[in-house]
Amino acid sequence: MACYGKGLGIKTQNSTISMTFLDSPYTLSDANQVASIGCDDLAMVQQASYLTNTSNGGGCASYCSRFQSPVGFGSCPGKGCCRTSISKGEYLEVELYDMRNYWGRRTKFFRCSFVFIGMVSDYDKFNFSLSHLNDPTTFLNNYNKEFMGMPLMLDWRILYDNRTKMQNSTDYACGKNSDCIDMDTIFGGYRCKCKKGYEGNPYLECHDINECKISNQCASFASCTNTLGSYHCSCPDGYHGDGKKYGIGCIPLPVSHSKLAIGVGLGAGTGLLLLLPTCFWLYKFHKKRKDKKHRKILQTKWWSLATTTNINRPRYT
């Protein structure tokens, strides 16, 4: 923040922001932006990297028209506000310059100007009262969430000199069932990440995820078998395929000719076995009925013969 004695050009606050992360596991993230608030100011950005031995710069100018009403509104980005991105690095310096003399103005429109560094969040665009630039306390109280609430994003990594040596040392940070992930080929370092199919704290220990109890890609009637770090889908008997919803799924097996012949043979054999006792029972029934009929005929003949003999027998008186 920089405030000036209006009309006197005397600064009452520091107008420089400086950050360095040399010899630390942190670097500035490129998710951050520099925002400058004011009507005649230039925010100059300088960055440097000791690891890459490079430097770069940039900036943006916040400007208000000479016809801008002192009771009007500014917008960010837009009237009275500008934003510029920064790159990843270990050193950052932002200097806020008063540009009124360069723009042909004898006095400043508003007494104070501000510069902020942080990640732009949900408050990507908003309006503010230009008159609040005359009082830093009023401005910060009214727009604390939009500016003072901007988080400064830092990337971090675990530093090492030799990867092979690091993985075999007691200082290796990754826990059980986790992998070492190289963060950046320029800035070096690594982080730890749970292996696929595992969850937990990769710096302590990662545990197997039982996909069969949560979301998985097995088809509705396929079986799910959990394995370490993964799972397997299998089809029921009579089906083939990968058993997955968005894969082949489970397809009924075609009936082969040999199996069909075996099935027909078994059916015929079973039918024959059932037919034999039925035929035998019918034979016995028919024979019994025939024998009964034959006996009845014999009885009838015998009775007829006996009656005839009795009639023809001579009677003696």
Average pLDDT, the chain: 78
Is 222 in contact with 250 (CB distance < 8 Å)? yes
pLDDT digits (tens, 9 = 90+) for 62-91: 888 765 555 678 887 788 888 898 888 889
Report CA-CA distances (Å) from 292 to 85, 198, 249, 287: 116, 86, 68, 8
Residue 35 vs residue 293, higher pLDDT: 35
Q: Give the whole-angstrom CA distance, residue 80 versus residue 70.
A: 12
- What letter does residue 86 receive in the DSSP assignment? -
Which residue bears the tokens 């069969």? Answer: 212
Residues 196-214 as b/e (b if ≥16 CB within 10 A, e otherwise) read ebbebebeeebebbebbee
Cis peptide bond prior to 77, omega within 30° of 0: yes
Q: What pTM was estimated for this model as a whole?
A: 0.59
Q: What is the pLDDT of residue 256?
A: 60
Q: What is the DSSP letter of 264?
A: H
* pLDDT higher at 285 or 38: 38
List every span in the chain annotated with CATH 2.10.25: 212-257
Distance of alpha carbon 234 from alpha carbon 174, whole angstroms: 34
Q: Which pLDDT does position 201 carry in this prediction?
A: 95
**Taking 60 as the threshold, does the pLDDT of residue 292 lie above it?**
yes
Tell me how far apart the terminal alpha carbons of the chain are, to the nearest angstrom.
169
Tokens 């370490």 locate to 228
Hey, what CATH class is 212-257 in? mainly beta
Q: Quick one: pLDDT at residue 317? A: 46
Residues whose CB falls within 8 Å of the CB of residue 49, separated by 6 or more in sequence, listed in order: 55, 89, 90, 91, 186, 187
pLDDT in tens, 117-129: 888 765 557 788 8
Q: Which residues contact 274 (CB under 8 A, 6 or more apart)?
A: none
Cα separations (Å) of 271 from 265, 268, 278, 281? Answer: 10, 5, 11, 16
Cα→Cα distances 6→1, 10, 81, 199, 255, Å = 15, 8, 20, 59, 95
Whether the Cβ atoms of residue 181 and residue 202 lie closer than 8 Å to each other? no
Q: One-letter amino acid identity for 21?
A: F
Question: Which residues are bridge partners to 57 per DSSP?
Answer: 46
Instruction: List residues bridging with 114 in a β-sheet.
Output: 37
What average pLDDT does this structure show over 169-178?
87
